């Protein structure tokens, strides 16, 4: 019997994502001017206010207010009627120095002996059902909102859109775990107040979403995925009615509240640790990226059609406490999951500093990950510019999404005799 599976995404203007982007913008600036910075920066956004808190150990000083305002304006909160604007909101900084009790377990005489910044377990996941080895429902959910944001900025006929939005996609699968069709698409998007009545307003929004947005999303997908869109899809567009009040005015936002959106949309597993605002000494972030790197290379190499990788740590301890692999019975090699995990531990150095070095995580690369998912995006080189009244101007070429590189295929294939 077929079954349904659902994933959701949220836009860059969702309050929690606004908070994530501010936290990661601050992290990038700290790393740009001092790559050895230790950062755990939390952000709260609400009506007309931004509160920054957390612990930092760095040799640089930042104008955190300006950085926060620039991010808010870039997202699109630029008008007074939003009750939250980069030009007018208050920004309160409560950031203080990192605890020495924590730092002593991380910093060592030799960088190779750097301990994990915290205990915990982290997961990486990959599946063959999409070209980027991500779960299909989440991949489509992300694309819907990325295209919606592009339309908000580009098209005058739908310039009524505001930054806050959510999407949800339900896929029908066969017993053999093969996507059959898209069953339901849910989109809630913030919008300007209309002069016409609510019913006419909602009808226009639904028409624009189905006739303008969805075709653009389909055009970005491979032919076999486009075929999953049929005339029987159930659409719920702004199902509660009008959505004028939104963003941080409608709902307080906090860093790290969208961890399932950030990873695999409910597929696989999640260890519970958030990413944004944390430097790579925090294994919540770096080891989750490393586990994704492992899982993606294993699936791409043909070890399994779907795989989950877990790694765990103790604070201040160099070596992982465990590495676990689950192939869901879909392995293509004559090895148990435990034997696959043993080979993973031989192929991939999962010590914290080794992860930082292998994936180039001490670079200012994190803002780009703070909306529309940390996993599944294209690895690429970009030039980023950072300016500070205290540190001057820095222009850096950096490599984004290094954990998405398929750079271990030869080694994996050799180890597994593929």
Identify the CATH number of the domain in which residue 196 sits: 3.30.300.10
Q: Residue ranges of the alpha helices (H) in 34-82? A: 64-75
Residue 141 falls inside a structural domain? yes
Helix 283-301 to helix 409-416 angle (10° resolution) is 60
What is the model's pLDDT at position 211?
Answer: 95
Is residue 289 located within the same domain as residue 361? yes
Which letter does DSSP use for residue 98 in this model?
P
Q: Give the annotated binding-site residues for L-methionine.
A: 55, 98, 251, 282
Co-location of 225 and 261 in the same domain: no
| Binding site residue list for K(+) | 42
In a domain? residue 396: yes
- For residues 404 and 261, membership in a common domain is answered with yes
Q: Measuring CA to CA, how many Å separate 73 from each of 84, 85, 100, 159, 260?
A: 10, 7, 36, 16, 26
Cβ atoms 15, 148 nearer than 8 A: no
User: How many structural domains does the chain have?
Assistant: 3
- On the question of pLDDT at 102 being above 70, the answer is no
Q: Quick one: pLDDT at residue 23?
A: 98
- What is the separation of C-alpha 363 from the centre of its chain, rounded to a whole number of angstroms? 17
Q: Reply yes or no on whether the pLDDT at 105 is more than 70.
A: no
- Joined tokens for residue 187: 């989109």
C-alpha 55/C-alpha 229 separation (Å) is 47
On whether residue 115 sits in a domain, the answer given is: no
Task: Measure the CA–CA gap between 225 and 319, rounded to whole angstroms.
Answer: 41
Q: Are residues 262 and 402 in the same domain?
A: yes
CA dist., res. 17 & res. 43, Å (int):
10
Tell me how far apart the alpha carbons of residues 83 and 49 are, in angstroms, rounded to a whole number. Answer: 10
Q: Given a cut of 70, is residue 101 above it in pLDDT?
A: no
CA distance 282 to 105: 12
Nearest to 42 by CA among 63, 27, 61, 59: 27
Q: 264 and 135 in contact (C-beta within 8 Å)? A: yes
pLDDT tens string 276-305:
999 999 999 999 999 999 999 999 999 999
- CA 157/CA 258 separation, integer angstroms: 31
Residue 113 placed within a domain = no
Q: How far apart, in Å, are the Cα atoms of 194 and each of 160, 190, 242, 250?
A: 8, 12, 9, 18
Which segments are annotated as binding site for ATP?
14, 164-166, 242-243, 251, 257-258, 274, 278
Determine the pLDDT at residue 329. Answer: 95
- Residues 6 or more apart in contact with residue 371 via CB below 8 angstroms: 11, 12, 17, 20, 21
Radius of gyration in angstroms for the set of CA atoms belonging to the chain, rounded to a whole number: 22
pLDDT at 104: 54
Binding residue ranges:
14, 16, 42, 55, 98, 164-166, 242-243, 251, 257-258, 274, 278, 282
Q: Is there a single domain that holds both residue 264 and residue 412?
A: yes
Q: Do 143 and 103 belong together in one domain?
A: no
Domain identity same for 275 and 371? yes
Do residues 313 and 230 both lie within one domain? Answer: no
Distance CA 107, CA 70 (A): 33
Best mean pLDDT range from 82-96, 192-206, 364-378: 364-378
Strands 120-127 and 306-313: antiparallel
Domain presence at residue 114: no
- The mean pLDDT value for 387-392 works out to 88
pLDDT of 326 higher than 60: yes
Pair 141, 223 in one domain: yes
CA distance 293 to 170: 26
* Residues contributing to the annotated binding site for Mg(2+): 16
Q: Which residue has the tokens 């203080």?
A: 96
pLDDT at 193: 86
Domain limits for position 205: 3-10+136-247
Give the whole-angstrom CA distance, residue 356 versus residue 360: 6
Q: Are residues 272 and 401 in the same domain?
A: yes
Helix (H) or strand (E) holding 200: helix 198-208
Its pTM stands at 0.95
Burial code of 369-406, b = ≥16 C-beta within 10 A, e = fewer?
A: bbbbbbbbbeeeeeebebebeebeeeeeebebbbbbee
Same-domain check for residues 165 and 269: no
Task: Calculate the CA dihedral of residues 28, 31, 33, 36 and round it to 10 degrees.
Answer: 170
């Amino acid at each position: 019997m077929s079954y349904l599976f659902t994933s959701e995404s949220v836009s860059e203007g969702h309050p929690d994502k606004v908070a994530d982007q501010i936290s990661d913008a601050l992290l990038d600036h700290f790393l740009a001017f001092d790559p050895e910075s230790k950062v755990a920066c939390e952000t709260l956004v609400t009506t007309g206010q931004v509160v920054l808190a957390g612990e930092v150990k760095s040799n640089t000083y930042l104008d955190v207010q300006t950085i926060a305002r620039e991010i808010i304006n870039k997202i699109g909160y630029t008008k007074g009627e939003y009750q939250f604007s980069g030009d007018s909101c208050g920004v309160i900084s409560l950031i203080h120095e990192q605890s020495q009790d924590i730092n002593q377990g991380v910093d060592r005489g030799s960088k190779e002996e750097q301990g994990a910044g915290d205990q915990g377990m982290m997961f990486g996941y990959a599946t063959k059902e999409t070209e980027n080895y991500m779960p299909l429902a989440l991949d489509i959910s992300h694309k819907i909102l990325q295209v919606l944001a592009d339309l908000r900025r580009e098209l005058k006929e739908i310039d009524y859109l505001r930054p806050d939005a959510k999407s949800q996609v339900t896929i029908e699968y066969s017993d053999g775990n093969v996507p059959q069709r898209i069953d339901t698409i849910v989109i809630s998007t913030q919008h300007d107040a209309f002069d016409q009545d609510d019913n006419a307003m909602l009808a226009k929004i639904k028409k624009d979403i189905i006739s303008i947005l969805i075709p653009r999303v389909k055009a970005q997908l491979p032919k076999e995925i486009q075929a999953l869109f049929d005339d029987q899809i159930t659409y719920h567009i702004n199902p509660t009615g009008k959505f004028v009040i939104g963003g941080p005015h409608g709902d307080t936002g906090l860093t790290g509240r969208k961890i399932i959106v950030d990873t695999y949309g409910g597929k696989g597993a999640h260890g519970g640790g958030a990413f944004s605002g944390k430097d790579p000494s925090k294994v919540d972030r770096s080891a989750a990226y490393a586990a994704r790197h492992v899982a993606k290379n294993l699936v791409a190499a043909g070890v399994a059609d779907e795989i989950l990788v877990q790694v765990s740590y103790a604070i201040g301890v160099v070596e992982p406490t465990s590495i676990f692999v689950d192939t869901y019975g879909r392995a293509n090699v004559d090895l148990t999951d435990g034997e696959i995990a043993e080979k993973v531990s031989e192929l991939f150095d999962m010590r914290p500093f080794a992860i930082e070095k292998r994936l180039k995580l001490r670079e200012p690369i994190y803002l780009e990950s703070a909306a529309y998912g940390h996993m599944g995006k294209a690895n690429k080189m970009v030039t980023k510019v950072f300016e500070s009244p205290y540190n001057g101007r820095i222009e850096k070429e950096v490599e984004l999404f290094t954990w998405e590189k398929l750079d271990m295929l030869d080694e994996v294939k050799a180890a597994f005799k593929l």
